[in-house]
Copies of this chain bind each other. A is one copy, B any other.
Amino acid sequence: MRPEIIPEPTLVRLTIYGRCLNDLIEEGATLVASDELAHRAGVNAAQVRKDLSYLGSFGRRGVGYDVRHLSDRIATAMGLTKERGFIIVGAGRLGSALMGYDGFNKKGFRAAAAFDADINKVGQAIGSVTIRDINELSSFVQANGTEIGIITVPASFAQSVADSLVKAGIKAILNFAPIVIKVPAGIRYRQVELSSEMEVLAHYLNSQGD
């Protein structure tokens, strides 16, 4: 089974499997069975096998999967074989935290620049980069061919920042601002809704029992 497109829930789980496989490599394991991987990823074994089948069939029946090969296969599928630059727009606390987030580096994402509209912040360093004036955003993206833009500005500015990013030629946007943003077809868009996460927990706290 090898369709051109992989379902999104599968993509998300593949990233989790990828991380579990890294752990297994560090532990010195060379083989892993679907139920071991399932246990580590918090899903069931049939799910793991179905998910992996989207990448081809390279497990060995009666044996399991080769840890290193599977790890490589997932990295390839997730497009992690080359370094990708990203920029962050909005150098507040959240933006600064993401700028130095180690999990991004580990997967080959490199913080290329940070931008802010606040003149007082411009010139300050966060991690290895200097905060730039937001007016330089377009020229920077064009000059560097940056693919991914992360939005961490207040909600009221998020749509216009997204528009600028798109106009500048960015290909994918990860939005942390609490507002649904409209992007043209062809631009990849994902949103992290921090408040929603808490609200869903609150809902469950209220409806006790199950």
Contacts and interface: CB of A to CB of B under 8 A. Distances in A.
Contacts of A200: 8, 11-12, 15, 78, 190
Counting every copy of the chain, the complex holds 2
The size class of the interface chain A forms with chain B is 35 or more
Interface string A85-122: 01000001110111011011011010000000000000
B97 A198 contact: no
B195 A15 contact: yes
Given A180-B41, A195-B106, A172 B204 contact: yes
A168 B158 CA distance: 39
B194 A98 contact: yes
Pairs of residues from A and B, 9 with the lowest C-beta to C-beta distance, nearest first: A79-B206, A93-B97, A79-B202, A103-B195, A15-B196, A172-B201, A42-B180, A97-B97, A188-B204
Given A148-B205, A188-B204, 12 more contacts: A5-B210, A16-B180, A42-B180, A79-B202, A98-B194, A103-B178, A107-B195, A107-B202, A174-B201, A188-B201, A192-B192, A192-B194
